[in-house]
Amino acid sequence: MERRHVTQIVQLLLALLIGVLGTLTVIRIKDNNKLIKTRYQDWAKLNVILNMIEENYVDTLDRTSMTDAAVTAALGTLDPHSMYLPPVDHEASVQDLSGNFEGIGIQFSVPADTAIVLEVIAGGPSEKVGLQPGDRLLKVDDTVIAGVKFPQDSIVSRIKGPAGTKVLITVKRGREVIPFEIVRAKIPLHSVDAWFMLDETTGYIRLSKFSRTTFEEVRAASAKLLSEGMTRLVFDLRDNSGGYLDQALYLTNEFLARGDTIVYMEGRSRSREVYRADGHGKLQEIGLSVLISENSASSSEIFAGAIQDNDRGVLVGRRSYGKGLVQEDFPFRDGSGLRLTVARYYTPAGRSIQKPYDNYEYDIYNRYMDGEIFSADAVSLDSTDVHYTRGGRTVYGGGGIMPDVYVPMDTTLATRYYTSCNRKATMMRFASHIFDGYGREIRAIDSYASMDAFFSRIGIENRFRSYAASVDGIKPSSEEEWKETLPYLVPQLRALVARYSQLGENAFYKYYLPVDDMVEEALKAPMNPIELQTGR
């Protein structure tokens, strides 16, 4: 009798799971009757409550919304990265790491009743006109979408559209309300934003994410740089939030010798897996500097940790994000998905770089407030979690990866004039204005010599000064402030305009990097990390 009762419960539970979640989840509940019974008893209270609601609640139920809310709440008791993704969010997440789409090139969320820009895709239409993470979307064309509980999928459908069509996006940034006219385009989700030679022997590659095409993109870029004489590489992983694990493994393998450990991982339901280099990498003899920042996370940290622990290259920048968790994506039949943490990963020296969950969402903000972003002396490391690289250098776990060469954020060039222009995205809108007036000429430019000649001919510095004054009412307080702003402002203006040419994103970084402190430090640092005296 008891066994038959248990069997009926199992059958009912499986039927419900098949209907709600799909076969993938059912496969993961295979077990004997005793264990399934125990699991059912553990979750019985939830089923009782749902049945009570079903039988007694005063109004008609929206079961889909309730299911989503219940799942979201349950996952909220786990780590910060395990989450349920409704169909719209899951589709956007998948698109971000593979494929193409036509639109304006942003990702956003609607935490309350107003959509907030989370990411502006590098090289996309939105970035070119000046949209920024944190902007609140107020209107799409003439339709108000803020403060009216506008459905997220409806916002997506209004923003997306065929390449070449225009959409007017009005945003609120601080106290400013700014309209942006954006020409939709096909958004290629490349992970390599730029690659070129910094000097006769030093190459540069900037990687924005670890997508399905990352390894092939980097291999193609590095092959071209090798043909141009590269013997040293500055590999830029700043603000790279991660992505596919296999791509991180393939890419790290390019730089390490046979048998070198890349990473290992394990979890409650995952036995330890160790990944080692196979010795077939094409870049084993290349000098390497890796740039990281407080927003470099996950797969970026796997790469950086392997390079540091094997003493293979020099890490330059600021302490990385601190995400040492491995997620798997479980898609469901309705288009939604579950992103679940299944293991922790550890660097070759045995470090778990996962930061504490306490105040997790405010960690980066706290780093700014505590002064860590501006001074190495303010960096707080867990001195009890000590590990050692292959060459005997001390490294720490428990809170991101500390670079070998720390580079603080430089705010000395942020004059009042520059800050005012930056707040209103004046530089980006100016670049769009110049393109409107010289579009045909700019689109034809295919060399840096021609680009430089164009800038000289139009007098880009004075043109911007007039534009900022007439359009945004921003003027330097004195000639001294104007001269103080120019060394940082002019490279940015040239970079923003040049990206509209045939030179593309390479031009943006080519013009901007000469005023990039981290790149400057990377070029000065020795190629052998053992030679460094960091004091940490």
Per-residue pLDDT of 222-246, as tens digits, reads: 999 999 999 999 999 999 989 888 9
* Average of per-residue pLDDT across 69-76: 86
Is the pLDDT reported for residue 417 higher than 80? Answer: yes
Q: Is residue 38 part of a domain?
A: yes
Dist. CA 385–CA 170, nearest whole Å: 48
Dist. CA 30–CA 24, nearest whole Å: 11
218 and 328 housed in the same domain: yes
Cβ neighbors of 402 (< 8 A, separation 6 or more) are 319, 379, 381, 395, 396, 536
What single letter denotes the amino acid at residue 185? A
| CATH classification at residue 267 | 3.90.226.10
275 and 349 housed in the same domain: yes
* Average of per-residue pLDDT across 475-504: 93
Closest listed residue to residue 426, CA positions, set 492, 361, 368, 349: 492
C-alpha of 202 from chain center: 25
Q: How many other C-beta atoms can be found within 10 angstroms of the C-beta atom of residue 246?
A: 14
Dist. CA 206–CA 196, nearest whole Å: 10
At residue 355, what are phi and psi to the nearest 5 degrees?
A: -80, 160
Number of domains observed in the structure of the chain: 4
103-117, 179-193, 478-492: range with lowest mean pLDDT: 103-117
**Three-state DSSP state, 133:** coil
Name the band, by pLDDT with cuts 50, 70 and 90, for residue 204.
Answer: very high
Residue where a domain terminates, one of 188, 217, 238: 188
| CATH classification at residue 177 | 2.30.42.10
Per-residue pLDDT of 118-161, as tens digits, reads 778 877 899 889 998 778 899 999 999 998 888 887 888 899 88
Higher pLDDT, 107 or 257: 257
259 and 332 housed in the same domain: yes
Residue where a domain terminates, one of 188, 208, 237: 188
250 and 110 housed in the same domain: no
At residue 516, what are phi and psi to the nearest 5 degrees?
A: -95, 115
* Average of per-residue pLDDT across 173-198: 89
127 and 146 housed in the same domain: yes
C-alpha of 171 from chain center: 22
What single letter denotes the amino acid at residue 363? D
pLDDT at 294: 93
174 and 240 housed in the same domain: no
400 and 473 housed in the same domain: no
According to the per-residue pLDDT averaged within each range, which of 112-121, 127-136, 484-493 is highest?
484-493
pLDDT at 40: 61
Against a cut of 0.85, is the pTM above it? no
Higher pLDDT, 362 or 292: 292
Is the pLDDT reported for residue 86 higher than 90? Answer: no
Q: Is residue 331 part of a domain?
A: yes
176 and 215 housed in the same domain: no
Is the pLDDT reported for residue 32 higher than 80? Answer: no
DSSP H or E stretch at residue 341 = strand 337-346
Q: Is residue 317 part of a domain?
A: yes
The residues that bridge with 167 in the sheet, in sequence order, are 182
Q: Is residue 228 part of a domain?
A: yes
Name the band, by pLDDT with cuts 50, 70 and 90, for residue 97.
Answer: low
Q: Is residue 70 part of a domain?
A: no
215 and 131 housed in the same domain: no
Summary mean pLDDT of the chain = 86
259 and 389 housed in the same domain: yes
Q: Is residue 511 part of a domain?
A: no
Q: Residue 43 is part of which domain span?
A: 2-61
Q: Is residue 75 part of a domain?
A: no
How many residues does this entry show for the chain?
536
428 and 317 housed in the same domain: no
CB 40 within 8 A of CB 11: no
Closest listed residue to residue 29, CA positions, set 9, 49, 47: 9
CB 326 within 8 A of CB 245: yes
Q: Is the dihedral of CA 294, 523, 352, 303 positive or negative?
A: positive
What single letter denotes the amino acid at residue 32? N
352: its two tokens = 């778990």
Residue 172 sits at the vertex; the CA angle it makes with 166 and 177, to the nearest 5 degrees, is 80
324: its two tokens = 């040492």
Is the pLDDT reported for residue 98 higher than 60? Answer: no
Per-residue pLDDT of 439-456, as tens digits, reads 889 989 999 999 999 999
Only one residue has tokens 């390019």, namely 254
349 and 272 housed in the same domain: yes
Which residues belong to the active site?
298, 309, 323
Is the pLDDT reported for residue 247 higher than 70? Answer: yes
> Could you give the dihedral angle defined by the CA atoms of residues 490, 492, 498 and 499, in that order, rounded to the nearest 10 degrees?
-170
Per-residue pLDDT of 308-344, as tens digits, reads 999 999 999 999 999 998 888 888 888 888 888 899 9
Q: Is residue 73 part of a domain?
A: no
